[in-house]
Chain A
Amino acid sequence: MLLEILTPDKKVYAGEVTSVSVPGTSGSFEVLNNHAPIISTLEKGSLKFKAKEGNQEMNISGGVIEVLADKVVVLVESLL
């Protein structure tokens, strides 16, 4: 699935990933391929995803995630 991580200043990441785990407001959760559509707000915490180039981790200050049709968009206010 396709992951996009956006901040107001720039596009931080865009690419093919196999899994994304995010710190949701009502508990952190992981998004795999073919996940049901979801919108959730995110808390301060770490966002991890698995890409071909390896695993990556980012600390975010909160934001919102939208999953729709194998496309994940994470809007992050700022990276810590």
Chain B
Amino acid sequence: MANLKEVRLRIASVNSTQQITKAMKMVSAAKLKRATDAVVQMRPYANKLKDILANLTASLEGNESEFTVQRELKNVLVVVVTSNRGLAGAFNANSIKTANALINENYADLKKSGNVHIIAIGKKAQDYFTKNKYNVIGNNNDVFNSLSFNTSVKISSEIMDGFVAGKWDKVEVVYNQFKNAAMQILTTEQLLPVQATVSATAVKSNVDYLLEPSQEEIVNGLIPTSIKIQLYKALLDSHASEHGARMTAMDKATENAGDLLRALRLSYNQARQASITNEILEIVSGANALSAS
């Protein structure tokens, strides 16, 4: 039979753990709201930009810009998006696992020759890839502290500059796409070179736009913006996913703590009753012994 005091201590500790997980869940729920709002705020811009680009590229053939050139694959850059903090279920582990699988399956040769570069966004990926001796470029641990378009532009500019300068010939992004609070879709997207966007909606528009300065120049001016938007979207999605994942994980943890508490209370009460019964037995037998003599 469990010791009364031991059980009481365990109940107290599980109780305080439950309070922490409950609070974390609440905080994540509030942050999730803000993160999804940011995704929603960005959408009109992204959609409009996509429309305009699709409209223009549909009638533009054989356009080669510095961001669309396909080069021989000598160096590859993998951008891995995770979070700064843990306790979000398998959120970070999944992202890192997918990036690893991507590198080992598609770029095993490049990995051997040390030509796989990593930009880690979020502390978890930074720690993992630094520890495993990858070529990790820069440090982007503070991105999620104040996530805005401008902070993400710094990273996307670095990526684009490196691509133009020939430091890498292909850029892929691994991140958790946000579906809903309980579901994240692990996504691998090719950021560079830009793949031709064949859009079904592009055909419907036959408006004769005046184009200034020229169609090609507009397209070439907009491609960098669309790359920046693509990365920004990945960051926002990942941020929302993080809080979604943490919320579900903490909800589960709170529930489990509740189950544990129930079991502990039961065994506490059993131990208490057993000790009372024991005491009564001792008193009664003591009294019996007295009256018998």
Contact partner of B232 among A8, A10, A24, CB < 8 A?
A8
Query: How far in angstroms is the closest Cβ of chain A from B59?
Result: 12
A70-B40 Cα distance, complex, nearest whole Å: 25
Within 8 A of B (CB), among A40-80: 40-41, 63-64, 66, 68, 73, 75, 77-78
Query: Contact mask A29-43 → B, CB, 8 Å, 1/0?
Result: 000000011111100
B229 at the interface (CB under 8 A from A): yes
The residue of chain A having its C-beta at the shortest distance from the C-beta of B229 within the complex is A8
Stretch of B48-56, B72-80, B118-126 contacting A (4+ beta carbons < 8 Å): B48-56
* A8-B45, A25-B217, A38-B209 as given contacts; A64 in contact with B149, CB under 8 Å: no
A1 at the interface (CB under 8 A from B): no
Within 8 A of A (CB), among B164-213: 207-213
> What secondary structure prevails in chain A residues at the interface with B?
strand
A63 — which chain B residues lie within 8 A by C-beta?
225
Is the beta-carbon distance between B207 and A68 smaller than 8 angstroms? yes
A39-B208 Cα distance, complex, nearest whole Å: 10
A7 at the interface (CB under 8 A from B): yes
Is the beta-carbon distance between A37 and B49 smaller than 8 angstroms? no
The interface size of chain B toward A, counting residues with CB under 8 Å, comes to 30
> How many A residues are at the interface, by size bracket?
20 to 34
B291 at the interface (CB under 8 A from A): no
B3 — which chain A residues lie within 8 A by C-beta?
none
A76-B92 Cα distance, complex, nearest whole Å: 33
Query: How far in angstroms is the closest Cβ of chain B from A39?
Result: 5
Is the beta-carbon distance between A8 and B221 smaller than 8 angstroms? no
B149 — which chain A residues lie within 8 A by C-beta?
7-9, 77-78
Is the beta-carbon distance between B218 and A9 smaller than 8 angstroms? no
* A9-B41, A39-B56 as given contacts; A75 in contact with B48, CB under 8 Å: yes
A2 — which chain B residues lie within 8 A by C-beta?
none
B42 at the interface (CB under 8 A from A): yes
* A7-B149, A41-B221 as given contacts; A36 in contact with B212, CB under 8 Å: no
B16 at the interface (CB under 8 A from A): no
* 10 closest Cβ pairs, A-B complex: A40-B212, A8-B149, A38-B210, A6-B45, A26-B213, A41-B221, A10-B41, A37-B209, A39-B209, A37-B207
Task: Point out residues on B near A: beta carbons under 8 Å.
Answer: 38, 41-42, 44-46, 48-49, 52, 55-56, 148-150, 153, 207-213, 217-218, 221-222, 225, 228-229, 232
Query: Given A37-B207, A66-B48, A77-B228, 19 more contacts at CB 8 Å?
Result: A8-B46, A8-B232, A9-B41, A9-B42, A9-B149, A11-B41, A38-B211, A38-B212, A39-B209, A40-B211, A40-B213, A41-B212, A41-B213, A41-B217, A41-B218, A63-B225, A73-B48, A75-B45, A77-B225
